[in-house]
Amino acid sequence: MDVNRVRDWIDAADTVTVLTGAGVSTESGIPDYRGPNGAWTKDPDSAKYVDIDYYVRDPAIRRRAWIRRREHEAWTVEPNPAHHALVTLEARGKLTKLITQNIDGLHQKAGQTPTNVLEIHGNIFGVECLGCDATTTMRATLDRVAAGEDDPACLSCGGILKSSTIFFGQQLKTDVLYAAAESAQSCDLFLSVGTSLTVHPAAGLVDIALQSGARLVICNAEPTPYDHRADAVLTDPIGQTLPAILNN
Ligand SMILES: [Zn+2]
């Protein structure tokens, strides 16, 4: 049984680095992007809300993006057994870093120590200005939207505001990437969960871990380009698989 084998590996490992993607949050009710019920599959236009070129150019896209942020599932959903199982990994002292592509804050809501979570795509709970360095909270900015400002401008410089997530066309934050790479390089076991491993830099982190001699375990319903290099591939629902391999 692969599950038992992986469980033994995790018991034996001193350091585990985890990478999570949308598949961890779908069981909480947050749609993924490109799947059959994905946000971008159902409404291809919504991908423009996170494309910096469209966003800067078109006030109509920004107005719709603010409405989408008000309605985002992240405000109401709860962590699922997969998130909770990952917290136990930290409690056992094995977690180096939890690197996530998700912007929903569910790992922290489940109880993961915030400094152990590297959000390589940012999160939806902050707001930043494209004109200056000003930052504020999404909550405060959505209050302005609710009060009638359908495209609220920066209170410091009048510039365009956006969520503190990484948009298409934007660079990822180098300090976060560096910490993620370091964590991938220094682990005994690299656990990739709920991500298709088709987007960089997430996929590159797997290469770093493999080059450093780490074991690779992939939990994902769909095949990934790294399956043939993995020591184990688990395709059952993540909410069942993670408690089975992580809870001791
Ligand atoms: Zn500004």
Summarised one tens digit per residue, pLDDT across range 127-174 is 999 999 999 999 999 999 999 999 999 999 999 999 999 999 999 999
Q: Is 154 annotated as a binding residue?
A: yes
Which residues have their alpha-adjacent CB atom under 5 A from ion ligand 1? 129, 131-132, 134, 154, 156-157, 159
Q: Is the pLDDT of residue 36 over 80?
A: no
Q: Looking at residues 221-243, what average pLDDT do you find?
A: 97
Q: Which CATH architecture group holds 38-76+124-165? A: 2-Layer Sandwich (3.30)
C-alpha span between 153 and 155 (Å, rounded): 6
Q: Which CATH architecture group holds 1-30+78-121+171-248? A: 3-Layer(aba) Sandwich (3.40)
Which pTM does this prediction carry?
0.94
Nearest to 146 by CA among 51, 210, 75, 52: 75
C-alpha span between 228 and 205 (Å, rounded): 16
Confidence class for position 45, pLDDT limits 50, 70, 90: confident
Contact status, residue 144 vs residue 105, Cβ threshold 8 Å: no
State the distance from the centre of ligand 1 to the C-alpha of 108, rounded, in angstroms. Answer: 28
State the distance from the centre of ligand 1 to the C-alpha of 101, rounded, in angstroms. Answer: 26
Every domain of the chain and the residues it spans: 1-30+78-121+171-248, 38-76+124-165
